[in-house]
Amino acid sequence: MRAEPIRPRVKAVDKRKTGEAVLPHARPGSALHLRISDIMIAVTASEAGLVLRVDEATEKFLVAPSDPDAAVAAGWGDPGEARPGDLAFNSGGIWKLYRDDTRHRFVFSSMSLGPLPYKGATFEPDFSSGEVTLRRACFQSAQGLWPLEYPLDELLLQGLLARGRGAEIHACGIADASGRGLLFVGQSGAGKTTMARLWEGVPGITVLSDDRVILRRVGGSFVMFGTPWHGEAALAEPASAPLTGVFFLEHGAANVLLPLRGAAAATRLFACGFPPFFDRAGLDFTLKFLGELVAEVPCHELRFAPDGQAVEFVETWAAGA
């Protein structure tokens, strides 16, 4: 028997209520303001000829100007080389992190773009402000560009979250028709996109993201937020929901829920997170945060068959949670 539906608690950004307006395009010298998981980021083009533009998913997260948690100024210039001795972390991909005194300096380069860095970004220790320097030759400025283009946007959020705000998880986030937040956690290939598509057609639900979800503690409870960083299903919504259950995805022949507690749940959540491996204090906070989360929110391994019954199976559990 299913429980009576409870009042929906999905919190969406209501721009009409707040008087906000989505800015379709920025003009040279203007700024774009993002709100991701209630964290405000302002990006300013510091010179003419730099046209800010965001992709379709990020555009949903644009809001009217307000006091930012992080203010970023972007301009043309030479991202420059950093001193090898200052290297703090090598991602093995397109960016490296250097520490110049206490500031964070990300340097982006790609052999497909040539031997010189195409972008540099320097942030204050708390990520409250920073500058992005773009090598003009690498950008077709007439089309507009986004200085925080992936992965810098996520690196900035990672830094802000790790300073006592929350954590980002590799997961599909669903707010069901009753407003309950269901988090389906897994690395690539675990079934996040499959799960998102199974839920997509269910009336009244909101897919917050099919790939990246931010978790924060709000008013004593854990809340999950959609992000612009979607997966193959391209599902991303600037909405939030109270976290009701965490499910670690495993492919299976039938639908099975296995309870997970304590370290077993926390380590699996950590392994699907994006913690700042180069930041001791940030790592400490992330571990503590995830430990508190698994102590308060029910966690399960979900072995699921890729059919619609998985949705009903989880909903039956959620109704009794």
Partner 1 sequence: MNTAPGRERSHTRRSYSKPAMKRVHLKPEEAVLGGCKITSSFGPTAVNCKPGGLNCSGQQS
Q: Which residues bind partner 1 (CB under 8 A)?
A: 53, 55-57, 89, 91-95, 108, 110, 112-116, 118-119, 135, 137-139, 143, 145-146, 149-151, 154-155, 158, 170, 187-188, 229-230, 234, 264, 267-268, 270-271, 273-275, 277
Decide whether 57 or 318 has the Cβ nearer to partner 1: 57
Instruction: State the DSSP string of 62-75.
Output: EE-----SEEEEEE
User: Least distance in Å: CB of 55 to partner 1?
Assistant: 6
| Closest approach of partner 1 to the CB of residue 155, in Å | 6
Nearer to partner 1, 8 or 252 (CB): 252
The amino acid present at 190, given as its one-letter code, is: A
41 close to 121: Cβ distance less than 8 angstroms = no
Q: CB of 243: closest distance to partner 1 in angstroms? A: 21
First-to-last C-alpha distance (Å) of the chain: 13
What CA–CA distance (Å, rounded) separates 258 from 151?
A: 34
Query: 102 or 112, CB closer to partner 1?
Result: 112
Q: Closest approach of Cβ 315 to partner 1, in Å?
A: 28
Smaller CB separation from partner 1, 57 or 310: 57
Backbone angles phi, psi at 108, to 5 degrees: -110, 130
* Residue closer to partner 1 (CB basis): 56 or 296: 56
In whole angstroms, how close is the CB of 114 to partner 1 at the nearest point? 3
Strand residues in the chain grouped as ranges (E):
11-12, 31-36, 39-45, 62-63, 70-76, 87-90, 95-100, 103-108, 119-123, 129-134, 166-175, 181-185, 206-209, 212-218, 221-226, 239-251, 256-260, 299-304
